[in-house]
Amino acid sequence: MDRDLEGLLARTREAVAAAGERVRADFASPQGVRRKGRIDLVTATDMAVEAELKERLAAIVPDAVFLAEETAAATGLSGLTWIIDPVDGTTNFAHGFPFACTSVALYDGPEPLLGCVGAPLLDRFFWAGRGLGAWCNGQRLAVSQVAAPVDALVATGFPYAIRENLDEILADLRVMLAETQGIRRPGSAALDLCFVAAGHFDAFYEIGLHAWDVAAGLLLITEAGGTVTGYRPDGPYILGARRILATNGRLHQAMLQLLGE
């Protein structure tokens, strides 16, 4: 891809930051909250932010297509693709819990080029570019150095199809609660991945995520020195795969073993 990646990243950051102003403005009184599944919510903010981002991002890379949570017609990646989650953590947002963010990534086929995760309600803005490192609020990020599960703070999440996956979720949770320092479930996979990149979490695992949940966070973790794979079975993580494990790298094999590899 013969483009100025730093320039693209700067313009993408501006677009995501502008979208974050809408998230911040709507937070006190979310509008148009409705269900798109049994426990899966969408708000007017999701729709408005997605539409705004598509307009702004189309001006940055006119030849890219879109894979966006609220309007995705397909999930495959071919050529340049903007991957958008307008409000990751919509349930948090709708309930007034500020662990929510906007996630945008640009991929060239299966390869990530850049990613931005804006969390205006937490005053955090994360970004990464391929070969340019991972950053938050101007500070370069690096994963933790924790090497043993007993010292690890681990994040996870639960899919909306929780009834269908309850046995697997509880089996993994039982192991993790017994073998790690602690488990956290804040409710935004995009931010969980950012927090692994920043060294606040040492590992993250989850089932049933979509490409838009993780696209930006994957690049942040690898640029910060971490490792991302699948588990059960282990192997390279492909966007949209059923299971994802992201760690600081030093913990990875131990986490794979705990998760049944």
Residue 85 labelled as part of a binding site: yes
> Pairing relation of β-strands 182-184 and 153-156?
parallel
* C-beta separation of 152 from 44 below 8 A: no
Q: Exposure pattern of 2-27 as b/e (b: 16+ CB <10 Å)?
A: eeeeeebbebbbebbeebbebbeebb
Residue 108 labelled as part of a binding site: no
Residue of 162, 245, 170, 169 lying closest to 203 (CA atoms): 245
* C-beta separation of 60 from 14 below 8 A: no
β-partners of residue 66 are 82
Burial of 58 per CB tally in 10 Å (0-12, 13-18, 19+): middle
Residues in the chain: 261
* Residue 233: cis peptide before it, omega within 30 degrees of 0: yes
Residue 26 labelled as part of a binding site: no
Residue 213 labelled as part of a binding site: yes
Residues forming the annotated binding site for Mg(2+)? 69, 85, 88, 213
Residues forming the annotated binding site? 69, 85, 88, 213
